[in-house]
Amino acid sequence: MVPMSAARRAVVVSSIFLLLTSCGSARARGVVVAGSTSVQPYAELLAEEYEHLYGGVVDVQGGGSSAGITAALSGAADIGMSSRELKEGEGALRQVEIARDGLAVIVHPSNPVSDLTPEQVRALYAADAVNWKEFGGPDAAIHIIAREEGSGTRSAFEELLMAGRRITPKAIVQNSNGQVTHMVAGDERAIGFISLGLVDGTVKALRLGGAEATRDNVANGTYALFRPFLFVLREDCPEETVRFADFALSAAGQRLLAAEGLVTAEWMKQAAGGRP
Protein backbone atom coordinates (compact mmCIF):
# COMPACT_ATOMS: atom_id res chain seq x y z
CA MET A 1 0.00 0.00 0.00
CA VAL A 2 1.15 3.54 -0.70
CA PRO A 3 -0.01 6.93 0.64
CA MET A 4 -2.87 8.60 -1.20
CA SER A 5 -1.33 10.33 -4.21
CA ALA A 6 -2.17 13.84 -5.31
CA ALA A 7 -3.99 12.40 -8.30
CA ARG A 8 -6.07 10.11 -6.12
CA ARG A 9 -6.91 12.96 -3.74
CA ALA A 10 -8.02 15.00 -6.72
CA VAL A 11 -10.30 12.19 -7.88
CA VAL A 12 -11.80 11.83 -4.39
CA VAL A 13 -12.35 15.56 -4.00
CA SER A 14 -13.79 15.80 -7.51
CA SER A 15 -16.17 12.96 -6.67
CA ILE A 16 -17.27 14.75 -3.50
CA PHE A 17 -17.72 17.98 -5.42
CA LEU A 18 -19.81 16.32 -8.13
CA LEU A 19 -21.94 14.57 -5.51
CA LEU A 20 -22.51 17.75 -3.57
CA THR A 21 -23.22 19.95 -6.57
CA SER A 22 -25.62 17.54 -8.26
CA CYS A 23 -29.30 17.65 -7.39
CA GLY A 24 -29.62 21.41 -7.70
CA SER A 25 -26.32 22.88 -6.45
CA ALA A 26 -26.02 21.73 -2.84
CA ARG A 27 -23.64 24.57 -1.91
CA ALA A 28 -26.31 27.11 -2.74
CA ARG A 29 -28.65 25.48 -0.24
CA GLY A 30 -26.56 25.72 2.93
CA VAL A 31 -23.39 24.43 4.58
CA VAL A 32 -21.45 21.58 2.95
CA VAL A 33 -19.46 19.38 5.33
CA ALA A 34 -17.22 16.58 4.00
CA GLY A 35 -14.38 14.35 5.16
CA SER A 36 -13.62 11.92 7.97
CA THR A 37 -15.94 8.91 8.14
CA SER A 38 -15.19 8.80 11.88
CA VAL A 39 -16.49 12.33 12.43
CA GLN A 40 -19.31 11.96 9.90
CA PRO A 41 -21.99 10.29 12.08
CA TYR A 42 -21.51 12.92 14.80
CA ALA A 43 -21.59 15.77 12.28
CA GLU A 44 -24.83 14.32 10.92
CA LEU A 45 -26.37 14.42 14.40
CA LEU A 46 -25.18 18.00 14.87
CA ALA A 47 -26.60 18.93 11.47
CA GLU A 48 -29.97 17.38 12.27
CA GLU A 49 -30.22 19.26 15.57
CA TYR A 50 -28.98 22.52 14.04
CA GLU A 51 -31.55 22.32 11.26
CA HIS A 52 -34.29 21.57 13.81
CA LEU A 53 -33.35 24.52 16.01
CA TYR A 54 -32.33 27.13 13.45
CA GLY A 55 -33.47 25.98 10.01
CA GLY A 56 -31.20 26.00 7.01
CA VAL A 57 -29.54 22.99 5.42
CA VAL A 58 -26.30 21.24 6.40
CA ASP A 59 -25.20 18.59 3.90
CA VAL A 60 -22.77 16.05 5.44
CA GLN A 61 -20.72 13.65 3.29
CA GLY A 62 -17.79 11.27 3.91
CA GLY A 63 -14.61 10.79 1.89
CA GLY A 64 -11.90 10.54 4.56
CA SER A 65 -9.88 13.10 6.53
CA SER A 66 -7.36 13.91 3.77
CA ALA A 67 -10.12 14.38 1.21
CA GLY A 68 -12.09 16.56 3.62
CA ILE A 69 -9.11 18.84 4.26
CA THR A 70 -8.45 19.14 0.53
CA ALA A 71 -12.14 19.84 -0.12
CA ALA A 72 -12.13 22.65 2.44
CA LEU A 73 -9.01 24.15 0.85
CA SER A 74 -10.43 23.96 -2.67
CA GLY A 75 -13.88 25.23 -1.75
CA ALA A 76 -15.64 21.99 -2.65
CA ALA A 77 -16.78 21.93 1.00
CA ASP A 78 -17.40 24.71 3.52
CA ILE A 79 -16.12 22.55 6.39
CA GLY A 80 -13.71 19.64 6.23
CA MET A 81 -13.97 16.93 8.86
CA SER A 82 -10.72 15.43 10.12
CA SER A 83 -9.78 12.92 12.81
CA ARG A 84 -6.13 13.96 12.67
CA GLU A 85 -4.23 17.21 13.08
CA LEU A 86 -3.42 19.27 10.02
CA LYS A 87 -0.04 18.50 8.49
CA GLU A 88 2.54 20.94 7.21
CA GLY A 89 1.69 21.95 3.68
CA GLU A 90 -2.06 21.43 3.98
CA GLY A 91 -2.74 25.13 3.77
CA ALA A 92 -4.02 27.95 5.93
CA LEU A 93 -7.11 26.46 7.52
CA ARG A 94 -8.56 27.14 10.95
CA GLN A 95 -9.14 23.96 12.94
CA VAL A 96 -11.85 23.64 15.57
CA GLU A 97 -11.68 20.68 17.96
CA ILE A 98 -15.30 19.70 18.57
CA ALA A 99 -14.39 16.73 20.81
CA ARG A 100 -11.85 13.98 21.40
CA ASP A 101 -12.31 10.33 20.65
CA GLY A 102 -10.49 7.35 22.04
CA LEU A 103 -9.23 4.69 19.67
CA ALA A 104 -10.20 1.20 20.74
CA VAL A 105 -8.22 -1.89 19.76
CA ILE A 106 -10.92 -4.52 19.30
CA VAL A 107 -11.18 -8.30 19.09
CA HIS A 108 -13.98 -10.83 18.89
CA PRO A 109 -15.81 -11.18 22.25
CA SER A 110 -14.80 -14.85 22.46
CA ASN A 111 -11.08 -14.04 22.30
CA PRO A 112 -9.56 -14.67 25.76
CA VAL A 113 -6.94 -11.94 25.22
CA SER A 114 -8.11 -8.83 27.10
CA ASP A 115 -4.98 -6.73 27.66
CA LEU A 116 -2.03 -5.85 25.43
CA THR A 117 0.82 -3.41 25.91
CA PRO A 118 1.47 -0.75 23.27
CA GLU A 119 4.62 -2.66 22.32
CA GLN A 120 2.62 -5.84 21.78
CA VAL A 121 0.08 -4.05 19.59
CA ARG A 122 2.93 -2.58 17.57
CA ALA A 123 4.58 -6.00 17.12
CA LEU A 124 1.27 -7.48 16.11
CA TYR A 125 0.44 -4.82 13.51
CA ALA A 126 3.97 -4.92 12.10
CA ALA A 127 3.58 -8.73 11.76
CA ASP A 128 6.48 -9.42 14.14
CA ALA A 129 3.96 -11.61 15.96
CA VAL A 130 1.54 -13.74 13.94
CA ASN A 131 -0.13 -16.16 16.38
CA TRP A 132 -2.53 -15.46 19.23
CA LYS A 133 -0.75 -17.96 21.49
CA GLU A 134 2.10 -15.43 21.77
CA PHE A 135 -0.30 -13.28 23.80
CA GLY A 136 -2.02 -15.98 25.85
CA GLY A 137 -4.70 -16.67 23.27
CA PRO A 138 -5.50 -19.72 21.15
CA ASP A 139 -3.04 -21.38 18.78
CA ALA A 140 -4.44 -19.53 15.76
CA ALA A 141 -3.19 -17.08 13.17
CA ILE A 142 -3.90 -13.40 13.81
CA HIS A 143 -6.03 -11.68 11.18
CA ILE A 144 -5.03 -8.00 11.02
CA ILE A 145 -7.76 -5.52 10.08
CA ALA A 146 -6.75 -1.92 9.37
CA ARG A 147 -8.14 1.28 7.89
CA GLU A 148 -7.08 2.61 4.49
CA GLU A 149 -4.22 5.03 3.80
CA GLY A 150 -5.40 8.62 4.25
CA SER A 151 -7.86 7.67 6.99
CA GLY A 152 -7.60 9.85 10.09
CA THR A 153 -8.21 6.77 12.21
CA ARG A 154 -5.22 5.02 10.65
CA SER A 155 -3.03 8.14 10.83
CA ALA A 156 -3.76 8.54 14.55
CA PHE A 157 -3.14 4.84 15.22
CA GLU A 158 0.20 4.94 13.40
CA GLU A 159 1.30 8.14 15.11
CA LEU A 160 0.27 7.05 18.61
CA LEU A 161 1.26 3.39 18.56
CA MET A 162 3.45 2.35 15.66
CA ALA A 163 6.56 4.44 16.53
CA GLY A 164 7.63 4.72 12.91
CA ARG A 165 6.86 1.10 12.02
CA ARG A 166 4.62 0.33 9.06
CA ILE A 167 1.40 -1.62 9.33
CA THR A 168 1.95 -4.93 7.60
CA PRO A 169 0.88 -4.99 3.93
CA LYS A 170 -0.85 -8.28 4.76
CA ALA A 171 -3.48 -6.38 6.75
CA ILE A 172 -7.04 -6.55 5.45
CA VAL A 173 -7.92 -2.94 4.66
CA GLN A 174 -11.42 -1.57 5.29
CA ASN A 175 -12.75 1.89 4.40
CA SER A 176 -14.78 2.73 7.51
CA ASN A 177 -15.03 2.05 11.23
CA GLY A 178 -18.27 0.23 10.58
CA GLN A 179 -16.61 -2.18 8.16
CA VAL A 180 -13.76 -2.85 10.61
CA THR A 181 -16.29 -3.58 13.35
CA HIS A 182 -18.22 -5.91 11.06
CA MET A 183 -15.06 -7.82 10.09
CA VAL A 184 -13.90 -8.28 13.69
CA ALA A 185 -17.39 -9.21 14.92
CA GLY A 186 -17.49 -12.01 12.38
CA ASP A 187 -13.96 -13.40 12.89
CA GLU A 188 -12.74 -14.93 16.17
CA ARG A 189 -9.10 -14.48 15.06
CA ALA A 190 -9.34 -10.83 14.00
CA ILE A 191 -8.07 -7.64 15.57
CA GLY A 192 -8.87 -4.09 14.49
CA PHE A 193 -9.00 -0.50 15.69
CA ILE A 194 -11.98 1.84 15.63
CA SER A 195 -13.43 4.91 17.28
CA LEU A 196 -14.06 4.26 20.97
CA GLY A 197 -17.47 5.89 20.67
CA LEU A 198 -18.52 3.20 18.19
CA VAL A 199 -17.66 0.13 20.28
CA ASP A 200 -20.76 -2.00 20.74
CA GLY A 201 -21.62 -5.45 22.08
CA THR A 202 -20.47 -7.20 18.91
CA VAL A 203 -16.76 -6.61 19.67
CA LYS A 204 -14.50 -6.37 22.74
CA ALA A 205 -12.23 -3.39 23.41
CA LEU A 206 -8.85 -4.45 24.79
CA ARG A 207 -7.20 -2.82 27.78
CA LEU A 208 -4.01 -1.05 26.75
CA GLY A 209 -1.21 -1.55 29.26
CA GLY A 210 -3.83 -2.25 31.92
CA ALA A 211 -5.92 0.84 31.18
CA GLU A 212 -9.51 0.30 30.09
CA ALA A 213 -10.68 2.03 26.93
CA THR A 214 -13.21 4.42 28.48
CA ARG A 215 -14.05 8.09 28.14
CA ASP A 216 -13.12 8.75 31.76
CA ASN A 217 -9.67 7.26 31.18
CA VAL A 218 -9.21 9.32 28.02
CA ALA A 219 -10.20 12.45 29.94
CA ASN A 220 -7.92 11.80 32.92
CA GLY A 221 -4.97 10.70 30.78
CA THR A 222 -4.87 7.08 31.92
CA TYR A 223 -5.74 5.82 28.44
CA ALA A 224 -3.47 7.62 26.01
CA LEU A 225 -4.82 6.32 22.69
CA PHE A 226 -7.07 9.14 21.47
CA ARG A 227 -7.30 11.61 18.59
CA PRO A 228 -9.04 14.94 17.96
CA PHE A 229 -12.26 15.32 16.03
CA LEU A 230 -11.84 18.50 14.02
CA PHE A 231 -13.80 20.85 11.81
CA VAL A 232 -11.41 22.67 9.45
CA LEU A 233 -12.53 25.79 7.62
CA ARG A 234 -11.14 28.73 5.72
CA GLU A 235 -10.76 32.09 7.44
CA ASP A 236 -12.99 33.71 4.79
CA CYS A 237 -15.82 31.17 5.11
CA PRO A 238 -19.47 32.32 4.98
CA GLU A 239 -21.26 33.44 8.13
CA GLU A 240 -23.59 30.43 8.06
CA THR A 241 -20.56 28.13 8.11
CA VAL A 242 -19.24 29.88 11.22
CA ARG A 243 -22.66 29.57 12.89
CA PHE A 244 -22.71 25.80 12.38
CA ALA A 245 -19.13 25.43 13.66
CA ASP A 246 -20.04 27.55 16.69
CA PHE A 247 -23.10 25.36 17.29
CA ALA A 248 -20.84 22.30 17.55
CA LEU A 249 -19.04 24.05 20.43
CA SER A 250 -22.19 25.33 22.10
CA ALA A 251 -23.66 23.76 25.22
CA ALA A 252 -26.35 22.05 23.13
CA GLY A 253 -23.86 20.71 20.61
CA GLN A 254 -21.44 19.49 23.25
CA ARG A 255 -24.23 17.74 25.20
CA LEU A 256 -25.21 15.92 22.02
CA LEU A 257 -21.63 14.77 21.38
CA ALA A 258 -21.14 13.68 24.99
CA ALA A 259 -24.36 11.66 24.82
CA GLU A 260 -22.92 9.83 21.81
CA GLY A 261 -19.77 8.74 23.66
CA LEU A 262 -17.25 11.45 22.79
CA VAL A 263 -14.99 13.26 25.25
CA THR A 264 -15.99 16.92 25.25
CA ALA A 265 -14.16 19.88 26.77
CA GLU A 266 -16.62 19.92 29.68
CA TRP A 267 -16.07 16.20 30.27
CA MET A 268 -12.32 16.79 30.48
CA LYS A 269 -12.73 19.73 32.88
CA GLN A 270 -14.75 17.57 35.24
CA ALA A 271 -12.72 14.37 34.87
CA ALA A 272 -10.85 14.92 38.12
CA GLY A 273 -14.10 15.43 40.03
CA GLY A 274 -16.14 12.59 38.55
CA ARG A 275 -18.55 12.13 35.67
CA PRO A 276 -20.40 15.15 34.24
Domain locations along the chain: 6-100+229-273, 101-220
The per-residue pLDDT for 273 is 63
The DSSP bridge pattern shows strands 226-233 and 115-116 to be unpaired
Among residues 40, 10, 249, the alpha carbon closest in space to that of 153 is found at: 40
pTM of the full predicted structure?
0.70
The per-residue pLDDT for 88 is 83
Work out the mean pLDDT of the chain and round it to a whole number.
Answer: 87
Provide the pLDDT confidence category of residue 85 given band limits of 50, 70 and 90: confident
Please return the burial class of 172, using the count of CB atoms within 10 Å of its CB with bins 0-12, 13-18 and 19+: middle
Task: Give tens-digit pLDDT for 214-247.
Answer: 988 998 889 989 988 999 999 989 999 999 999 9
**CATH architecture for residues 6-100+229-273:** 3-Layer(aba) Sandwich (3.40)
Helix (H) or strand (E) holding 60: strand 58-63
Among residues 202, 206, 216, 227, the alpha carbon closest in space to that of 268 is found at: 216
Tell me: pLDDT of 13 over 60: no
- For residue 134, CA distances in Å to 143, 174, 192, 225 come to 14, 25, 17, 23
Q: 227: which strand partners?
A: 101
Provide the pLDDT confidence category of residue 152 given band limits of 50, 70 and 90: confident
Tell me: pLDDT of 89 over 90: no
- Residues 6+ away with beta carbon under 8 Å from 150: 3, 4, 9, 64, 65, 66, 67
Task: Give tens-digit pLDDT for 30-69.
Answer: 899 999 988 999 999 999 999 999 988 999 999 888 899 9
Q: Which of 13-27, 156-170, 211-225 has the lowest mean pLDDT?
A: 13-27
The per-residue pLDDT for 4 is 45
Provide the CATH topology of domain 101-220: D-Maltodextrin-Binding Protein; domain 2 (3.40.190)
Q: Provide the residue type at 145 as one letter.
A: I
One fold for both 6-100+229-273 and 101-220?
Answer: yes
Among residues 68, 87, 90, the alpha carbon closest in space to that of 79 is found at: 68
- For residue 7, CA distances in Å to 12, 105, 226 come to 9, 32, 30
